[in-house]
Structure 1
Amino acid sequence: MPQDLQQAEELLERYGRWAQDRYKKQRCASAEGKYRPPPQARSDDEPLIPFMPDWSARHVQLALQSVPMQFRRVLFAIYIPQKEHPMEARRRMRLKSDVWDGSRIEGLRHFWNIYRLRYLTKGVTIAPILRDTESCALAA
C-alpha cells in the first residue's frame, strides 16, 4: 500500500467496521416472557462501542459515492463486510489479480482525493484508532 494512501485505507476500514456493527446484540426470549439469560453472561455480548461518529460515516459514504463505479465496487467488496468474501466478489466480477489490486489502489486514490478536498482542512490528519465514539475525530 502506498504511504500516501495509508490514511484512506484506515478510514475505509473504520467505516467498514462501523457499517458492520450497526446492530445491538440481543438474546432470545420466550413467548411467556419468563426467559432468563444464563448467569455467566459473556463480556462480548454487550453492545458494541461505535467505531466512528455517524456524521463522519456519512462523509465517507458521500465520498465513496463519488468514486467511479469500476473502482467503487472493488472498494466495497474489500472494505465493507458482506456475506460474500472479497475473493468471491473478484471471481464474480471476473477480474484478474493485477486488475483487482490496481483498481483498489486507484479507487483509494479517487476516494482520498474527494474526501480530503471536501471534508479535511489544511494540516489536519485523522486521529489514531481508539475504542470510543470519537475515534475518527480530526486531530491538529
Structure 2
Amino acid sequence: MKRDLEISISPELRQADELLERYGKWAQDRYQKRRCGSAEGRYIAPPTPGEAPMVPFMSDFNAMKVQHALQVVPMQYRRVLQAFYIPQAKPHHAVRRELRIGVTLWERSRLEGLRQFWNIYRCAT
C-alpha cells in the first residue's frame, strides 16, 4: 500500500505492521483470481503451463485471530488502524480529514494502536 508518511516503527512493531498489511489484503478480496471482462462475463482464459494456484495471504483462522485482537483495541486507535490497513472506498488520508485528526496525532494513534494490537495479539496466541 502506498503511504504518504512513513514513521519509524520498531522491529517488534514491524511484525504487527506486516500482519495488519496481510490482514488488509486478505479482507480486501480474499485473493481470488479475476476473470476477463467479456461481453458475456463468462470468458475463461486457457490455462498456461506452469500456472500455479494463488497462495492466500493468511488463513481464515489467522484472519479471525487478527480481527478479534483488533476488536479489543480501543476505538480511538482501532479506527485509525482500520482506515490505514484495511482497504476502503476512501484512502486513509481522506478518512483522517473527515475525522478532523491532525497528521501528528494520526501517526501517534497509529503507533499506539499498533502497540496495543500487538500486545493483545501476542497474549491471545
Q: Is the pair's TM-score, using the shorter chain for normalization, greater than 0.5?
A: yes
The residue aligned with 1:53 is: 59
Aligned length: 114
> Are 2:13 and 1:5 aligned?
yes
The residue aligned with 2:117 is: 111
Using the alignment, how far apart are the partners of 1:37 and 1:14 within structure 2?
A: 28
Contact 1:65 1:72 in 2 (8 A): yes
Superposed counterparts of 1:1-140, under 5 Å: 1-22=9-30, 24=32, 25-27=34-36, 28=38, 30=40, 36=43, 48-119=54-125
Q: In the superposition, relative to structure 1, how do residues 22 and 29 fare at CA in structure 2: closer, same or farther (>3 Å)? A: farther
Using the alignment, how far apart are the partners of 1:104 and 1:22 within structure 2?
A: 24
Q: Which stretch of structure 1 is more off in the superposition, 107-116 or 2-11?
A: 2-11
The residue aligned with 1:122 is: none
Runs of 4+ off more than 4 Å:
35-41
TM-score by length of 1: 0.71
Amino acid corresponding to residue 105 of structure 1 in structure 2: L
Q: Percent identity?
A: 52
Amino acid corresponding to residue 55 of structure 2 in structure 1: I
The C-alpha deviation readout for 1:70-104, integer Å capped at 9, x for no partner, is: 00000001100111101001000100011000000
